[in-house]
Structure 1
Amino acid sequence: MLKKRFVTLLTTAALVTGLAVAFGPTVSSASTATTASTSCETATDWQAGTWYPAGSIVRYNGSYYRAEHENPGYDPVISHWFWHPHNCGGGGNSGGGGENPNPSGFIVSEAQFNQMFPNRNSFYTYSGLVAALGSYPGFTTTGSTEVQRREAAAFLANVSHETGGLVHIVEQNTANYPHYCDWSQPYGCPAGQDAYYGKGPIQLSWNFNYKAAGDALGIDLLNNPRLVETDAAISWRTALWFWNTQSGAGHMSGHQAIVSGAGFGESIRSINGSIECNGGNPGQVQSRISTFQRFTEILGTTPGGNLSC
């Protein structure tokens, strides 16, 4: 919860046993693929539970993927460390070497998003998130593919923590609602004293944050704060605004924390500062870290260092 008054991601070679928990299928002794295809001409359709040696090429939903590492039939769209999209001369997805194969252009596929948030509120749509990406083109496109995926995992892990797994749209403690109006601001609280409670993926709160986010996004959120809980794209845009531009209660934005290598812990600090960091609430910090590590597994990247604050 953004309670501070400020305007302003398993290693790559993760254990197969751990990843089997995250990605589902287990190898079957009756389904080994020791003669798996290594060319597009003889590629077969991918099958869950089939063992694929490194170099295997499969078809998946009309596109081709090459196994960069042997695996027991992990989903090519979800398991990006094991599979890369493969260019078959126009016969499938172009762009090997870890490039983003997702039709949306976002480094997180819809299947991965759904895996991260199996119980999410229908308000938090994948399409709403994708629609919001244009506001901050540097988000998950800066640095190496490893860093890009790490940033996505970091952002979504913090979002998950703030909303109970993308379940809650608004702050659950209604007694706090009147507390987020700073009458010392010259513009006051035109939507009412109790209108600026936490809303959306990052639980945006305080009248001055609504004013600043609205000004940055070209939306009058000061007068219409409920847009953050009624319009999915706007809601995601406010979260991306904070993540990409605001240091909040910390020293840098979440985006800067990840792309600079400062670490996931600094992204926690920007969101909740001493409320969680410096011993404020180590249990909550560990909860964020655990979610982050789980999401990096799903995205096939590494969490980096400095996970705590």
Structure 2
Amino acid sequence: MMSTTPRPRLRSPGRLVRVGLTTGGVLAAVAATLFAVAPDKLSPAAESSSVEARFIGLAGKCVDVAAANSADGTAVQLFDCNGTDAQRVSKRGDGTLRVFDKCLDVVDAGTDAGTAIQLWNCNGGPNQQWVVTEALDIVNPAADKCLDVRDGNSANGTRLQIWTCTGAAQQKWTAEAVGGARRGAGAPAAPRTGFVVSEAQFDAMFPGRNSFYTYKGLTEALSAFPGIATTGDDIVRKQEAAALLANVSHETGGMTEIVEGNTANYPDYCDVSQSYGCPAGQDAYFGRGPVQLSWNYNYKAAGDALGIDLLNNPWLVQNDATVAWKAGLWFWSTRSGPGTLTPHDAMVNQAGFGQTIRSINGAVECDGKKRAEVQSRVDAYQRFTQILGVAPGGNLSC
């Protein structure tokens, strides 16, 4: 079931100016006050005013709060723009940038290049001050460094940091106006409604499932990944949902298993070449949850993206159903494994169900290696598309 090493998955600030608006300039009236005046010269009215926008940077992706989590210490990252409140940034007259009414904060008030950005309770510290230059850099004056996408990596979940201002694309940001009412400060993202799989259909797919895997848990976790099973027409959305659940069914024995059964494999999932090692123990990174997430580097990457310390506490994936589903959906949305597409992109771009198998466990199963394993996934996918009343499409195998 598990692949050979490496296993892919599983088992200088200038004059302050108004940020460019990419849609219509509807913020112009107040932005002139907020973005063109230094924080120490603001009037009381400006102190209490705010403008809401999505900040769009590298590869057209947005400043995002991991997993729509409003807790102190949540990672601030780059992610596909999706219109959720986790990407609704309030530019305040006091020089702060806020999401869920908490501040974008330089961790531990650091000034070194590479210091990460997190969400934190606003406290007036210099590490929570941001200004915008004519070149559309977003600068923390205390460090004299720019908001930067780590390593210039445009993958979803890449952490934001401060770095010496270089003018590189990974430090350029524009703002897109956000309209509509906003929920109360600190409110978590609402569960997504309208999942293309009804609860009755879910029950039909998994009649003997473990109570750990609830329909509510899945739909609530999906709210943090709004692109899954919502992209494309009705056929594509249902095909993606069926593909996701078919792979989950195979990985978990029809949602009956939470952790990998073969304990002999457990010590194999520690890649000691990683600088952070395996702090939870060499045998702690075995397969868990809907996609049987495994390997220390996957726990590290998933935890960073979700704002949860899974490297030191991988057991959360087997003890907390919400974390388990989010870890699985993170993999589905962001990792291509030995394939060339993430499973999400494979279905949205109609590359076929077989490409999702390749991304998840292709190094072990595809190209004739384990035909029965591949067929098990295909059979589940065809059964689930039938339940959803949609054709499975082509390219089912890998």
Q: CA deviation at 1:3?
A: 3.2
Instruction: Establish whether residue 220 from structure 1 lines up as the match of residue 309 from structure 2.
Output: yes
Instruction: Describe the superposition over 1:270-303 as per-residue Cα deviations: whole angstroms up to 9, x where unpaired.
Output: 0111311100111111111111000001111111
Instruction: Describe the superposition over 1:38-79 as per-residue Cα deviations: whole angstroms up to 9, x where unpaired.
Output: xxxxxxxxxxxxxxxxxxxxxxxxxxxxxxxxxxxxxxxxxx
1:272 is aligned to 361
Instruction: Describe the superposition over 1:87-123 as per-residue Cα deviations: whole angstroms up to 9, x where unpaired.
Output: xxxxxxxxxxxxxxxx942111111111000010011
SS at match of 1:135: coil
Which among 118, 125, 132 is matched to residue 214 of structure 2?
A: 125
Structure number having the greater strand percentage: 2
Do the aligned residues in 1 keep the contact of 2:240 with 2:344 (CA within 8 Å)?
A: yes
Which among 240, 243, 247 is matched to residue 158 of structure 1?
A: 247
SS at match of 1:205: coil
Do the aligned residues in 1 keep the contact of 2:2 with 2:364 (CA within 8 Å)?
A: no
Q: In the TM superposition, what are the counterparts of 1:158-307 in structure 2 within 5 Å?
A: 158-307=247-396
Change (3 A) 1:7 1:288: closer
Instruction: Establish whether residue 3 from structure 1 lines up as the match of residue 92 from structure 2.
Output: no
SS at match of 2:339: coil
TM-score for both structures, normalised by structure 1: 0.68
2-side partners of 1:280 and 1:274: how far apart?
A: 8
2-side partners of 1:210 and 1:3: how far apart?
A: 16
2-side partners of 1:269 and 1:294: how far apart?
A: 20
1-side partners of 2:256 and 2:283: how far apart?
A: 22
SS at match of 2:223: helix
1:26 is aligned to none
Which among 113, 118, 139 is matched to residue 202 of structure 2?
A: 113
1:89 is aligned to none
Q: How many residues align?
A: 216
Aligned CA-pair RMSD: 1.6
2-side partners of 1:226 and 1:202: how far apart?
A: 15
Do the aligned residues in 2 keep the contact of 1:7 with 1:208 (CA within 8 Å)?
A: no
2-side partners of 1:155 and 1:288: how far apart?
A: 10
Letter in 2 for 1:236: W
2-side partners of 1:223 and 1:168: how far apart?
A: 23
Instruction: Describe the superposition over 1:182-223 as per-residue Cα deviations: whole angstroms up to 9, x where unpaired.
Output: 111111111111110000000000000000001111111001
1:19 is aligned to none
1-side partners of 2:3 and 2:257: how far apart?
A: 17
2-side partners of 1:156 and 1:7: how far apart?
A: 19
Q: In the TM superposition, what are the counterparts of 1:8-87 in structure 2 within 5 Å?
A: none
Do the aligned residues in 2 keep the contact of 1:199 with 1:205 (CA within 8 Å)?
A: yes
2-side partners of 1:229 and 1:104: how far apart?
A: 25
Do the aligned residues in 2 keep the contact of 1:180 with 1:196 (CA within 8 Å)?
A: yes
TM-score for both structures, normalised by structure 2: 0.53
2-side partners of 1:161 and 1:215: how far apart?
A: 27
SS at match of 1:238: helix
Change (3 A) 1:300 1:142: same
Instruction: Describe the superposition over 1:146-170 as per-residue Cα deviations: whole angstroms up to 9, x where unpaired.
Output: 1000000000000000010000100
Q: CA deviation at 1:6?
A: 5.4
Letter in 2 for 1:157: A
SS at match of 2:299: helix
Q: CA deviation at 1:2?
A: 5.1
Structure 1 segments unaligned to the other structure (5+ residues):
9-102
Q: CA deviation at 1:7?
A: 5.8
Change (3 A) 1:108 1:157: same
- Percent identity reads 65
1:100 is aligned to none
Bigger RCO of structures 1 and 2 (CA < 8 A, at least 6 apart): 1
Structure 2 segments unaligned to the other structure (5+ residues):
10-191
